Amino acid sequence: MFGLALTSLSVSSQALLGERPIIPTPLQTVENKGLFQLKKSLTIGVSDHSLLPAAQYLKEILSKNSQLKVVQDIRRADIVLKLSSALKEAGAYRLEVRNRLVVIEGADYPGLIAGISSFRQLAPVEIEQTIEKKQAAWGVPAVTITDAPRFQWRGVMLDASRHFWTTQEVKRVLDLMALYKLNKFHWHLTDDQGWRIEIKAYPLLTQKGAWRKLNNHDLGCIDLARKTDNPDYLVPEDKLKIVGNDTLYGGYYTQEEIKEIVAYAGQRGIDVIPEIDMPGHFLAAISQYPEVACDGMIGWGNTFSSPICPGKDSALDFCKTIYKEVFALFPYQYVHLGGDEVEKKNWERCSDCQQRIKKEGLHSTEELQAWFVCQMEKFFLENKKQLIGWDEVVADGLSNQSAIMWWRSWVPNAVAQATADGKEAICSPNFCLYFDYQQDKNSLKQILDYEPLSDDLTPAQQRLVKGVQGNIWTEWIPSMDRVEYMMMPRLCALGELAWCKKTTKSSLDAFHRKLVPHFKRMDVMAVNYRILDLEGFYRVNAFVDQYDLKIQSHLPNAVIRYTTDGTMPTKSSALYTGKLRLTETTDLKFRTFRPDGSASDLVETRFVKAPYTDAATQPTDLASGLRAVWHDYKGNACSDLVTAPVKGTYTVEKVSIPQGVKGNIGLVLTGFLEVPADGIYTFALTSDDGSMMALDGEWLADNDGPHSPREIIAQKALRKGLHPVEIRYFDSNGGLLRLEWINAQGEKEEIPAAHWKQCVAPSSN
């Protein structure tokens, strides 16, 4: 069905081990001789009653093609599950596969689940589907693996407010997490766009707060489905209902369904952390219970994050009552409060808030938020729960019993500040671990290269870094197919980052190779993964005569189709067969198709046939560096920023944000690039948010618009000498701007400062 050869027992264990690499990479692997046969009938034995859920989980994995029974007796079992006091690290496991016996030992229950995940990955992919008649016996290579995680917090956050997920869909995410040894499920259950958890004390929260008319994100997703020929963007019909003349979107979890998910996760060694976001992002609640908002101010100012009124005792009681029910549903000690992006304009105008500020001896609405967060922390601790907040709460005066979750990459000292105060920290920086951000060829590299334990942390501070987490915000993710597409294979890379010691973590090239057999497993599991980026070309490519395009794909036997007329490639478009000769300027669109016929991202590229561009006449009065003009700009397009007021002028030695420039940033960098020899030059422009680059008066690289860190690579044929350059950039958080060129070895490197020139008199530039 999927074109996968069944594994025969005649194949050596070493060969099978090479074909079935484990992600995340184990700490120690010893290859043995032989194979363990996955017979039609197998017995799983456990050493302790507490391990029966793990045995049932393994039985579920293997039962598609084998008849299994679970017994509380390891003496006659084919597969033994047991705890071992010899394994000292939490989450550690030892997996020994022999010819006739498999022994999986765990330091604890989660370690045992990790061992099961490794055993599953070593098994042939066919175990993931029901096959009526086996064509060959299936074997698992004989091996001994001893392994332990680097971090105890290996998390995934799923936003269920912006778009809602059924219990089966949540279980799908949990299954993929367990497969790659991720063990913390952060469940974002409430926000402005929908309240998803039943609270018996306040039934309107779900009766009405769980439903909404289609909003801009819903309609935008539907439009994207049409524009991109991608059904993943369609809003599922089972999330819609008709009330009167209105079509409403939504859904919620009953408390029984919450318990079901918590139990399902627990069986897979996963702890569930609920998030009820407050005091901001609370519109879904205060719309139904307006008495807990500032009087007459629901939606006043910025409706994106309408907060509760911390000036009212009744509002605090409302929050505590909600959390009291939440605490009873989630056994794990950590609970997430949120505390992020609070719009405080309401509080500035609210008499109750101002009275609270005066009564408590506070001095600002910032201190009012800190007071609220500390009140909630006290309530959490009284109920034997520990509070987690987004990194906005780092300076709110919390005790060291609470933790922060760092997400704002433009506030790099948040982890250092929290751990210096004795608080735990979890790292989920948006630049690499926000899985709702669009993917490109650098996405996996950024995850694998990220180091949570920075050198500026002392050993004591490093011990307070609990781990890492990938976050899936779902404004633009309406379906589970889209969740999977945005999550896979980044979730695999997250597992590698979170689990592996520095010495065992794979390089990018090695990780790409490891992913290939995992994609085969995902094909069988019907996972809607994203195919890795095609290589061999850039966004803009230059040639002077003719160009033979040779595309490299990380997925063997990938089906690549293309068009040259601007239309969307489909399964009937021209097939790329290994080489494509271009003799004229050509715009190409590519799509790669998986074995089931579904398509990956649209890839657009332009090949420009043009002679070498002559250098500019040598200007007089040249100086080193580039001229940078800072505009006070708060917008979303590079074309508009030049009309904004000027805040300062600087000289910079490279394309970057000048030191001291922060807040609302609009930059225009101008000068000359000195090209050392005739040739085709390749430039990589990276920014967060928008940027554009003009060379010789031609806009060469267009990286415009609001977006996460994104790289655009473009080429141009240039003669030796000076070439005028202009670069525009905007961002509201002091983000990222970088320009590199690619050398003859294909490596990106910073353009040396000696190659940048500017005119002394700006008007002559």
**pLDDT tens digits for 77-106?**
999 999 999 999 999 999 999 999 999 999
Q: By the 8 A CB rule, do 703 and 691 touch?
A: yes
* CA-to-CA dists, residue 494 to 27, 55, 433, 434, angstroms: 16, 26, 8, 11
Side-chain half-sphere CA neighbours of 273 within 13 A: 26
Give the mean model confidence (pLDDT) for residues 15-25: 90
Q: Judge whether residue 595 has pLDDT over 90.
A: no
* CA-to-CA dists, residue 542 to 565, 702, 715, 721, angstroms: 19, 16, 5, 18
* CA-to-CA dists, residue 330 to 187, 226, 259, 379, 426, angstroms: 11, 40, 8, 16, 20
> pLDDT tens for residues 336-358?
999 999 989 889 999 999 999 99
The set of residues, in sequence order, having a beta carbon less than 8 Å from that of 265 and lying 6+ positions away, is 174, 185, 271, 272
The set of residues, in sequence order, having a beta carbon less than 8 Å from that of 604 and lying 6+ positions away, is 539, 587, 588, 589, 590
Separation between Cα atoms, residue 765 and residue 757, nearest integer Å:
10
All domains in the chain, ordered by first residue: 13-147 (3.30.379.10), 154-196+253-525 (3.20.20.80), 540-609 (2.60.40), 622-764 (2.60.120.1560)
* Strands 139-147 vs 28-37: parallel, antiparallel or unpaired: antiparallel
Instruction: Locate 245 and state its tokens.
Output: 């003349």
300 confidence band (pLDDT: 50, 70, 90): very low
662 confidence band (pLDDT: 50, 70, 90): confident
Separation between Cα atoms, residue 550 and residue 578, nearest integer Å:
6
| Among 293, 287, 288, CA closest to 310 | 293
Separation between Cα atoms, residue 324 and residue 382, nearest integer Å:
11
Q: By the 8 A CB rule, do 629 and 668 touch?
A: yes
| Among 683, 691, 701, CA closest to 657 | 691
Q: Judge whether residue 604 has pLDDT over 90.
A: yes
Sign of the dihedral defined by the CA atoms of residues 519, 523, 529, 533, in that order: positive
CA-based radius of gyration for the chain = 28
Instruction: Locate 66 and state its tokens.
Output: 């084998």
Angle (CA) 762-763-764 rounded to 5° is: 90
Instruction: Locate 699 and state its tokens.
Output: 């806009």
| Among 159, 124, 121, CA closest to 139 | 124
The phi and psi torsions of 43 (rounded to 5 degrees) equal -120, 130
The pLDDT value given to residue 389 = 98
Residue ranges in 330-455 assigned as alpha helix (H): 345-349, 351-359, 365-382, 414-420, 430-433, 443-449
Q: By the 8 A CB rule, do 119 and 10 touch?
A: no
The pLDDT value given to residue 124 = 94
11 confidence band (pLDDT: 50, 70, 90): low
The pLDDT value given to residue 134 = 59
Give the mean model confidence (pLDDT) for residues 357-368: 97
Tokens 């089906």 correspond to: 559
Q: By the 8 A CB rule, do 732 and 663 touch?
A: yes
| Among 21, 6, 14, 24, CA closest to 447 | 24
578: left (phi over 0), alpha (psi -120 to 50) or beta: left
Separation between Cα atoms, residue 199 and residue 508, nearest integer Å:
46
Separation between Cα atoms, residue 736 and residue 750, nearest integer Å:
14
Instruction: Locate 244 and state its tokens.
Output: 């009167």
558 confidence band (pLDDT: 50, 70, 90): confident
Separation between Cα atoms, residue 166 and residue 565, nearest integer Å:
41
Give the mean model confidence (pLDDT) for residues 320-324: 98
The pLDDT value given to residue 620 = 79
What percent of the chain is modeled with pLDDT above 90?
A: 86
Q: Judge whether residue 299 has pLDDT over 70.
A: no
> pLDDT tens for residues 606-621?
999 999 999 998 887 8
Q: Judge whether residue 596 has pLDDT over 90.
A: no
Separation between Cα atoms, residue 256 and residue 146, nearest integer Å:
38
Tell me how crowded residue 307 is: count the other CB atoms within 10 A of its CB: 31
The pLDDT value given to residue 734 = 64
The whole-model pTM stands at 0.93
292 confidence band (pLDDT: 50, 70, 90): very high
15 confidence band (pLDDT: 50, 70, 90): confident
Separation between Cα atoms, residue 467 and residue 457, nearest integer Å:
14
β-sheet with 102-106: strand ranges across: 28-37, 139-147, 93-97, 102-106, 79-83, 41-46, 67-71
| Among 378, 366, 297, CA closest to 337 | 378
Q: Judge whether residue 696 has pLDDT over 50.
A: yes
